[in-house]
Structure 1
Amino acid sequence: MDQWFTANLGDAMLAGEDLERVCALFERRHGRNATTAVLMRHENQGRLHCELVLYFPPELADLAAAVGAHVCGQPGLPGLGVAIGSPQRLSELTDA
């Protein structure tokens, strides 16, 4: 299954609590030594403030469902970073 998932946490300045919740769920389900990661990007779609958008790879479908993420395509690389998990997961995208 190659389906990715996305969750928009809204205004990046106000998304801290929601991001902490996602990170805590990730750690409980996958541990600190996980080989996967939740990815993130600050996106501005013509609004005054940017929004924090999370991207969950296919192997994190359980976590994505738990936070109400929606199905999406694989995210583009520009501006993409690691919210929590292994930086190697992002490297795998750049190597593909």
Structure 2
Amino acid sequence: MREFVYGTDQQYELLKGSLEDHLCHVYSHCYLPDNCSKDMARIGFEKEENTYALFIDKGISCSCNHAPALFKDWLAVGTVRFLDFTDMKEFLRSLKCLY
């Protein structure tokens, strides 16, 4: 996940373009923050009809007290949806505090 948290605008534009096929793009071996119950997880991105979905392997928890609530919810549920790509990008970038 660190790869996405610290991704450049150019890398995000490439990701956004790849999602135009409306398929789920899964990235394996994404490194999670130290306070997570697992070191790595699979993360998936998908452009749905009117939203963007972000998926993560289930069964992961985070013991970090300053972790954003949406991050903990995402780990618990395994999915979070955003109204647009920019919101998803900003969510991922907001997780820098965990690294």
Same structural fold, with TM-score higher than 0.5 when normalized by the shorter chain: no
Q: TM-score range by the shorter chain?
A: under 0.3
Q: Which structure is higher in strand share?
A: 1
